Amino acid sequence: MEDICASLPEAKKSTVYRIVDSLEKEGKVRCTGSIGRRTQYQYSGSLCPMHMHIKCRVCGKTEHLDYATTEAIRKAVDDLLGFETLATTVLDGLCGECRKNKENN
């Protein structure tokens, strides 16, 4: 978003923010948090509400799990505990890079 906004005249910025805001409401972009005064958005695509995500608890990197994996996890939890897991669940984890860093320390 910052890149798009940077190339626009001041007057257009509020229009862009309004569009982003409505996209967020539709679930097409996701607010992934703020760094300082900047709000970060991630294009989540129309399929994102259909699958789980995993977020690195160290660096915050988020990856998308595919639909088949999401369904496999949901089925396993259902079989085991009778819980229906939400497809929008965000799993907590450590990304490959952070795991390496951890091993080196």
Sites of contact with Zn ion (CB under 5 A):
48, 56, 58-59, 61, 64, 95, 98
Nearer to Zn ion, 20 or 95 (CB): 95
| Distance in Å, CB of 39 to Zn ion, minimum | 19
| Distance in Å, CB of 10 to Zn ion, minimum | 33
Q: Which helix (H) or strand (E) holds 74?
A: helix 67-81
- Between CA 98 and CA 58 the distance in angstroms is 7
Nearer to Zn ion, 16 or 47 (CB): 47
Nearer to Zn ion, 13 or 61 (CB): 61
Q: Quick one: which of 7, 33, 36, 2 has its CA closest to 17?
A: 2
Do 64 and 48 touch, CB atoms closer than 8 A?
yes
